[in-house]
A and B are shown apart, each in its own frame.
Chain A
């Protein structure tokens, strides 16, 4: 048993922490208020290599591991979780899908620019009538000569609204169910494909800096070669990368919760009521203590899941536990952070209000808490762990 981070891990954490503190955090309130996409920060993150940490050098990454990637996601999310969401989708989901299922040509074409961060990736599984029941998607892809013709709508697509988002990886039905499921395949759809329509930008409770849009495929034509991986295993392919996404969501929640604790500790030391800093009241101290417990446990859990993944070992149980626990603890921690700030915590210029508004979404994206519990119960029934 060894809990020490390697030298590289520490350097990644420290560098990302400084970047997050010095570059992201001071801008986060403005980004949230204006909803303007922070291209300058995204390109700095790209230049530092954050989008390619676990991807091999050959394909534009730095040849690091998933633990390093998630330390980066935690630290970046501490400044602003929307940047963690960007990394989660473009690296943990899209780059990984290309790295694992892509052909050599596909990797050269799409993985390299995405791992370098020059281009950003998006993924589309969710549809208006298919959320938790993702296998019920209706988007259709039909082979016409040497092109696939795609029709359907994907919704709530993270990253796709960014100008430098270049592709969306989608799940689409390639054989209608006769009995049971039919066949779902995975495709890479470049944003400049004929028939690709960028739909409306969603108005969200929080996460205003995250580019969430609807995407419509209107007789969208893509080359036959844009099929990714095994045409019969599209659904399983999506689920396998989303398993890493769960670790990423947990790391984001830990980063945001840590920021809530940092802000609360500072505020409680400064705010004086009844002639004393509110930090001297036990009711406040207990909240801070409980926050630190929740954060510590969630952090250890996502690190364990990432470590197992790096060892090439099964980690579906651990990643699911991490996602469920971390996202639920964040809602409580963010709520307590606002409580410690009193009325000021409800005001937009106080960072805790931003983390609070952004907390709920982590219990929904990449599988709701209910779905996480369904998965865990299924694992338990199978005798895991």
Chain B
């Protein structure tokens, strides 16, 4: 079973995000970059499948050179190979261009399953997985919390939570799955894994290597333009409910929720 995991590097969710002077991007100095948490689920699931069925796990990323560090973390966790699509012309690409470039890098690889995160926790678009499946012409399951590959390794059942119920969908392989929280508990990279990560195969690919037109990607090729980024509104001051007894406080709270907050 050969599994591909698409991995995006995103700002650590604990990073204080600042909007850049252009009003359309964020200040990237001093950001701690980490593997997109949804992609960690993908790496973990791929490693579990490898442990059960054998085969290889390949990590594919797109982005600047710093992304190498996140790929190496996946290699330290146990993935076998890394591919980084890196080209100055890709700077500012939208989801569609990203999916196109990923598809170009993946199409000639030998794979049974592809994992992508259901979304990146940076811009929350959630489009790359579906677009990639479309470009590769493979079935796609989105927002999956459980993956069951048949014993013969030929088909897969995937579970998606829907309104408190679970929808189980089945397909032949190859297929693409977008991961949701709850799929698994990603492992820590081990020390021997960390020390060996640098010795594992790692390739860098440019647009020319992939036969892609620089004009169709990057800032210029965007179909979705960012007009403006604004910080979330400041949280208003909290209110402390006064009252002598819990009953009094509850009554006051109910009144405020109704009259002021208008939640019911």
User: Which residues of A are interface residues toward B (Cβ below 8 A)?
Assistant: 7-8, 10-12, 14-15, 18-19, 47-50, 52-53, 57, 62-64
Contact = CB atoms under 8 A, between A and B. Distances in A.
A8 B192 contact: no
Given A18-B188, A48-B190, A49-B190, A62 B195 contact: yes
B198 interface: yes
B188 A15 contact: yes
A57 B192 contact: yes
B76 A11 contact: yes
Contacts of A53: 191
Task: Determine chain B's interface SS by DSSP, over half rule.
Answer: helix
Interface residues of B, number: 14
8 contacts: A8-B195, A11-B69, A11-B73, A14-B73, A15-B188, A49-B190, A50-B191, A62-B192
Contacts, number: 46
A15 B189 contact: yes
Contacts of B192: 49, 57, 62
Contact of A62 (B68, B73, B194): B194
Given A7-B69, A11-B72, A11-B73, A47 B194 contact: no
B84 interface: no
Interface string B45-77: 000000000000000000000001100110010
A12 B76 CA distance: 10
Task: Determine chain A's interface SS by DSSP, over half rule.
Answer: helix
B92 to A, nearest CB: 27
A18 B13 CA distance: 14
A49 B191 contact: yes
A130 B68 CA distance: 53
A48 B76 CA distance: 11
A18 B195 CA distance: 18
A310 to B, nearest CB: 14
A64 B188 contact: no
Contact of A8 (B68, B188, B190, B197): B197
Contact of B191 (A7, A14, A62): A62
Identify which of B188, B191, B198 gathers the most chain A CB atoms within 10 Å of its CB: B191
Interface string B185-208: 000111110110110000000000
A12 B189 CA distance: 8
B39 to A, nearest CB: 15
A10 B191 contact: no
A57 B68 CA distance: 25
Contacts of A48: 188, 190-191
A11 B191 CA distance: 9
Given A8-B195, A11-B189, A62-B190, 11 more contacts: A7-B68, A7-B72, A8-B194, A11-B72, A11-B197, A15-B194, A19-B188, A48-B190, A49-B190, A53-B191, A62-B195
